[in-house]
Amino acid sequence: MIRSILLIFILLLGCGGQAQTKTEREGEPAIYSVTDEDAQMNAAMQKAKETLPKFTEALLDNRPETRNFALKKAFATIDGGKEHIWISNITLQGMQFVGIVGNVPNKIPSLALGDSVSIESDEVSDWMYLENNVLAGGYTIRLLYQRMSPAEQEHFSKETSIVIGPE
């Protein structure tokens, strides 16, 4: 299930273009792209940074009702932009998070699904985990979900079986 969540919400940031576009990929869920100037997306990423201690606390608590911990990190793309990739199977090693690439990168040939990566706290652009199938964090997911059509929201809910409740 976590792979379904992560694949749906790859986030690309680049210069110019429309406020948000959707790119379909054969055999992979869509990629939603936004510009660097998207104020709502920037606010969502800022909120994720500010609330990262909640993620860390839940990760370290290791409660049975919490699972599917993931962090989103921006990587440089071949065209000079940024692609935000979900990193799953998160552990904390010292002051650094470590995990594996949880979705197939679109414009980063040096990065592949399953690669191990480290993440500094200041590199986090979003965080999420599920608590009894209810999304915790996931501020960029919440924003993209709000922007979806009702049919896309229904598809997301069926595909992932998670609840996007209040923050």
Distance (Å, whole) CA 17 – CA 35: 7
Given a cut of 70, whether residue 134 has pLDDT beyond it is yes
- State the pLDDT at residue 15: 39
Distance (Å, whole) CA 148 – CA 153: 6
Given a cut of 80, whether residue 90 has pLDDT beyond it is yes
Evaluate whether residue 151 is within a structural domain: yes
- State the pLDDT at residue 25: 63
Residue type, 83: E
Length of the chain: 167
- pTM of the full structure: 0.83
Q: List, in order, residues 6 or more apart from 28 with CB less than 8 Å away.
A: 7, 104
Distance (Å, whole) CA 37 – CA 19: 8
Evaluate whether residue 57 is within a structural domain: yes
Evaluate whether residue 94 is within a structural domain: yes
Mean pLDDT score across all residues of the chain: 83
Residue type, 58: A
Evaluate whether residue 167 is within a structural domain: no
Question: Out of 6-10, 13-17, 68-72, 125-129, which region has the weakest mean confidence (pLDDT)?
Answer: 13-17
Evaluate whether residue 166 is within a structural domain: no
Evaluate whether residue 165 is within a structural domain: no
- State the pLDDT at residue 50: 97
The total domain count for the chain is: 1
- State the pLDDT at residue 34: 75
Tell me the average pLDDT across 112-138. 95
Tell me the average pLDDT across 100-105. 88
Domain that holds residue 125: 2-160
- State the pLDDT at residue 23: 65
Evaluate whether residue 77 is within a structural domain: yes
Given a cut of 60, whether residue 3 has pLDDT beyond it is no
